């Protein structure tokens, strides 16, 4: 994904060129040597040009130190570099500078990333320093930082070596993460009242379920929609976050029900990929291949570690990471998309920025317009497209499918997962936080506001209609719905069921009430 825009790179860009590294995650800062000192931003990358006096020595260690000091540390880059150069250069560095903070940090990171120990110099010393720069990256909450006495390092990595997402504190990221969801919901509550907002939430839960199926092309599956709505209402924010194998199996079973081809609930034991079939060519177009089944447990444990280590931080960051990391790990044979979108509300409620029974209609907002669905697909592509670019020549489909231990049959042949393991382990979810922040702001300020406004107008119209003719609420609701859907045209079936509507004066009086009540959106009603 990363390309060096200059002919004289330094820091990370130099290391990429030196080792012929291809990254999936982006560099947020790129450095080079030029005639004068300047900084400019292009395609979300800050380019820093330095004068000749700032040039590091022409060695891996010198450029690593420059990367640590002046750029945003990229764990995928370090992993891919260490896979090529081994331990000798880092060992020599820390032997030469046993009290140096950069040498000790890099020695710690080498061991953490590669799961291989270096020799600790007998004269190692120096003050404890953070492994990652907290001003540049999201790290563990202060109470979760671990003192590593071996290298005198504050281990503040928010995850494990198997999964630790990159979250870069750009200006736009920081603004997005600071979205005050609780205050926004409180404003709705103040405007419409708790009772009305709760009623809107019940309706939005069903709509959220339907929209989640619509995203997956199954928007007419009524029983499944109702089942998922029930699961959201009962399970959101309850018990432990469903990221362990047992909880996931239970949640998957509740979502899918008993009528499914899945014979074994829980963590898959088979390969999985996201694709569509090109009908004319009868060709499978693969959009994303998920990590192998053997890696899932470790990656989910890393995601659980992230959630534990970031307790007390932005609920929006935590919600975005839980949900999007889950969909990239794709731990289930079926139901990953629904659990992914379920986790957004689940984490927000756990972190107490939304309260029961409110369910933010995230899926509804995604499925509402083609442009919204495009934006959702594009954010998923930010990881999947560069990842698939690296492995496009390393997978194929066998003629015969294999039956795996979970009874899933697949003919995917992909044995080169090592090529993208660093990308799965340290995926960049910075843009996903920004995307979710904008989406939630839209959901609360538009979707939930409009739904609450509609219910308030509907209540007013119902009361006014019952002043004209006394009737059960269900009659009034059906009349209002018919008038809105048919733009005021009187249907014969409605008159047959409710003969009192044959009186034109009664109908006109009721219609006038509906038009007046829904006047903000009733231009098409006026006959």
Q: What is the CATH number of domain 172-437?
A: 1.10.3290
What pTM was computed for the model?
0.91
**Average confidence (pLDDT) over 206-213:** 69
Lowest mean pLDDT among 49-63, 72-86, 204-218: 204-218
Lowest mean pLDDT among 57-61, 258-262, 377-381, 424-428: 258-262
Q: How many percent of the chain have pLDDT more than 90?
A: 80
| 524 pLDDT higher than 80 | no
Distances (CA, A) of 417 to 76, 324, 456: 15, 20, 54
For the stretch 305-333, pLDDT in tens is 999 999 999 999 999 999 999 999 999 99
| 282 pLDDT higher than 80 | no
**Average confidence (pLDDT) over 122-132:** 98
| Mean pLDDT, the chain, whole residue set | 92
Q: Rounded CA gap, 210 and 367, in Å?
A: 10
* Domain segments of the chain as ranges: 9-131+147-154, 172-437, 447-521
Better-scored residue on pLDDT, 372 or 526: 372
Residue 76 Rama label (left phi>0; alpha psi -120 to 50; beta): alpha
Q: Rounded CA gap, 403 and 405, in Å?
A: 7
Give the pLDDT of residue 3: 45
Distances (CA, A) of 394 to 126, 170, 343, 398: 46, 34, 32, 13
Give the pLDDT of residue 284: 76
| 142 pLDDT higher than 60 | yes
| 6 pLDDT higher than 70 | no
Q: How many percent of the chain have pLDDT more than 70?
A: 94
Give the pLDDT of residue 246: 95
Helical (H) or strand (E) element with 491: none
Give the pLDDT of residue 4: 45
Half-sphere exposure of 384 (CA within 13 A, CB side): 21
């Amino acid at each position: 994904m990363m390309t060096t825009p200059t002919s004289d790179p330094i820091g990370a860009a130099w290391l990429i060129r030196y080792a012929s590294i291809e990254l999936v995650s982006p560099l947020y800062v790129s450095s080079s040597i030029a005639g004068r000192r300047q900084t400019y931003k292009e395609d979300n990358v800050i380019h820093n040009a330095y004068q000749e006096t700032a040039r590091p020595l022409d060695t891996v260690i010198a450029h690593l130190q420059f990367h640590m000091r002046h750029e945003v540390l990229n764990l995928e880059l370090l992993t891919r570099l260490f896979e090529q150069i081994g331990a000798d250069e880092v060992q020599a560095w820390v032997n030469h500078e046993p009290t140096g903070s950069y040498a000790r940090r890099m020695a710690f990171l080498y061991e953490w990333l590669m799961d291989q120990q270096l020799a600790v110099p007998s004269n190692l010393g120096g003050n404890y320093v953070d492994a990652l720069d907290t001003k540049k990256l999201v790290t563990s909450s202060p109470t979760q930082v671990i003192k590593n006495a071996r290298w005198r390092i504050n281990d503040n990595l928010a995850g494990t070596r198997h999964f630790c997402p990159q979250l870069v504190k750009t200006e736009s990221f920081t603004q997005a993460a600071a979205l005050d969801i609780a205050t926004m919901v409180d404003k709705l509550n103040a405007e419409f009242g708790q009772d009305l907002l709760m009623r809107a939430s019940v309706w939005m839960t069903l709509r959220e379920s339907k929209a989640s199926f619509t995203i997956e092309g199954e928007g007419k599956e009524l029983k499944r929609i109702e089942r998922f709505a029930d699961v959201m209402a009962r399970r959101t924010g309850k018990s432990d976050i469903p990221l362990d194998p047992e909880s996931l199996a239970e949640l998957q079973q509740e979502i899918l029900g008993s009528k499914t081809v899945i014979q074994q609930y829980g963590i898959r034991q088979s390969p999985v990929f996201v694709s569509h079939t090109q009908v004319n060519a009868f060709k499978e177009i693969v959009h994303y291949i998920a990590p192998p089944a053997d890696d899932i447990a470790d990656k989910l444990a890393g995601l659980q570690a992230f959630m534990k280590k970031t307790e007390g931080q932005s609920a929006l960051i935590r919600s975005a990471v839980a949900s999007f990391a889950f969909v990239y790990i794709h731990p289930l044979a079926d139901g990953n998309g629904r659990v992914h979108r379920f986790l957004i509300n689940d984490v927000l409620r756990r972190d107490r920025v939304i309260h029961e029974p409110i369910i933010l209609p995230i899926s509804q907002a995604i499925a509402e317009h083609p442009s919204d669905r495009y934006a959702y697909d594009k954010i998923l592509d930010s990881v999947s497209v560069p990842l698939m670019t690296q492995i496009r020549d390393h997978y194929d489909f066998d003629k015969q499918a294999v039956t795996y231990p979970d009874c899933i049959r697949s003919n995917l042949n992909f044995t080169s997962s090592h090529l993208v393991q660093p990308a799965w382990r340290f995926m960049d979810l910075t843009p996903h936080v920004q995307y979710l922040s904008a989406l939630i702001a839209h959901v609360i300020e538009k979707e939930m506001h409009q739904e609450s406004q509609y219910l308030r107008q509907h209540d007013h119209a119902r009361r006014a209609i019952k002043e004209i003719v006394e009737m059960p609420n269900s009659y009034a609701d059906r009349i209002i719905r018919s008038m809105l859907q048919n733009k005021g045209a009187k249907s014969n079936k409605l008159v047959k069921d409710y003969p009192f509507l044959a009186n034109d004066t009664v109908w006109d009086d009721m219609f006038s009430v509906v038009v007046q009540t829904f006047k903000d959106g009733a231009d098409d009603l006026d006959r």
